[in-house]
Amino acid sequence: DQLIPISGNKILETDDASKLGNYSSDQIISLDGKFVMPGLWDNHIHFRGGAELVEANKNLLPLLLAFGVTTVRDGGGDITPYVQLWNELIHDKELSGPSIFTPGPKLDGSRPAWEGSIEVTNNSEAISALDSLESINADFVKIYDGNLTKEAFYQIIEKAESRGLKTTGHMPLSADLMKAVELGLDGTEHSYYPLKETSPLADSLTETGMGYGMITPLMNSYNEELANKAYRELAKNEFYVTPTLHVGKTLAELLVVDHSNDTLLNYISPKITDTYQRRLNSAKRGGENYTNTRAQWVTSFSNMVKPMYDSGIKILAGSDSGPFNSFTYPGISIHKELELLVNAGLTPQEALMTSVVYGPEFFDLEDDYGSIQSGKIADLLILDDNPLENISNTQKINSLISKGSWYSKTDLDDLLKSIKNE
């Protein structure tokens, strides 16, 4: 039996339960027969949608916490001042929610794909964009490929690296991933970009300028020898990949799964569920071809996970939940992501590491997070069953400690009640 003394928001140490008498405490919580692990990190979510959706996004915070998520890495959006304010309030314990690491606005090319993004089309704009992000103390740089040229992409990475800023995101498919990594790119969101390194047809497909139209041909020409060589090279550079398997599977099944009775719709604002229509309409336009293509993507990206992990690439668990990503609900989605990572070949322990170990490592925060040790932040998820035996046991939540504050199961249920739609 273990004793975990906590003072403020920090773990003092771990000790044998028999030494309880050596400590004085305002609160003693008995967790006999329970399993304690670090709080979950969801390494890819979104707060976005403009002023109309600010309150709806804010209500996602207790939802995340109720599902054991104590830290999130925001994927960039258009309501940064609110996101940063929420994070301050959360740390001051004036608001219930996970810690938030945010890049602020995405960096994109001309006519950005997402509202609030910063345009970068040349060297001077890359400098100005990074100045802007540094002025708001952004936690990292999120790059998007809506209309970004490969030249601007390289300029952003090179200049961010010179400033010591972490970079991740999408990559223009005209660009070369290995060159980007040499310049300092720290990671990619989704697996499209490592996929480019696995096919002997990559160069010829790139020359056609077909963009995401090359994904299926790349998958069809996947070469294991090329792939493993590329993965090892990426691993040498301590590279991170966030596969976002759950959102891929959910989007692939939009036309075949009926979500109308999903329980979690009761806790998602109608203003957010209205944003789901955009992807639904896209799926309907594509019809059977959309479903079949997306299904192949799901299989191929899942098959990449274990060889990437085994090569030493740092896989990050991220759900891509939030507005616009249809039926990918914040909170439960990171648990579904962990299940899919295990289905892809990782052990439960390895899958958990993609959330609670590599998440902090991306930000060089290993001294503060990632294990239950003296001096680390007291973010602890208490479970009724062992997640190392069955990854789905992460969903059997008994209680939670967030920044030293204990939430009983009743408290977590009350968080859900507080945001339930009328």
Pairing outcome for strands 405-407 and 240-242: unpaired
Provide the pLDDT for residue 278: 96
Is the pLDDT at 2 greater than 90, yes or no?
no
Provide the pLDDT for residue 309: 99
Strands (DSSP E) found in 179-266 = 187-189, 240-242
C-beta separation of 346 from 367 below 8 A: no
C-beta separation of 369 from 377 below 8 A: yes
Q: What is the pLDDT of residues 78-97, one digit of tens each?
A: 999 999 999 999 999 999 99
| Domains of the chain with bracketed CATH | 39-367 (3.20.20.140)
Q: What is the pLDDT of residues 7-39, one digit of tens each?
A: 999 999 887 877 776 787 888 899 999 999 999
Provide the pLDDT for residue 298: 98
What tokens does 81 get? Answer: 């001042």
Provide the pLDDT for residue 160: 99
What tokens does 300 get? Answer: 């191929």
Is the pLDDT at 202 greater than 80, yes or no?
yes
Q: What is the pLDDT of residues 317-332, one digit of tens each?
A: 999 999 999 999 999 9
Provide the pLDDT for residue 173: 97
Question: What are all long-range contacts of 293-296, with beta carbons under 8 Å and residues at least 24 apart?
Answer: 293/216, 294/248, 294/251, 294/252, 295/252, 296/216, 296/219
Q: What is the pLDDT of residues 225-272, one digit of tens each?
A: 999 999 999 999 999 999 999 999 999 999 999 999 999 999 999 999
Q: What is the reported pTM?
A: 0.97
Provide the pLDDT for residue 26: 82
Q: What is the pLDDT of residues 334-360, one digit of tens each?
A: 999 999 999 999 999 999 999 999 999
Mean pLDDT of the chain: 97
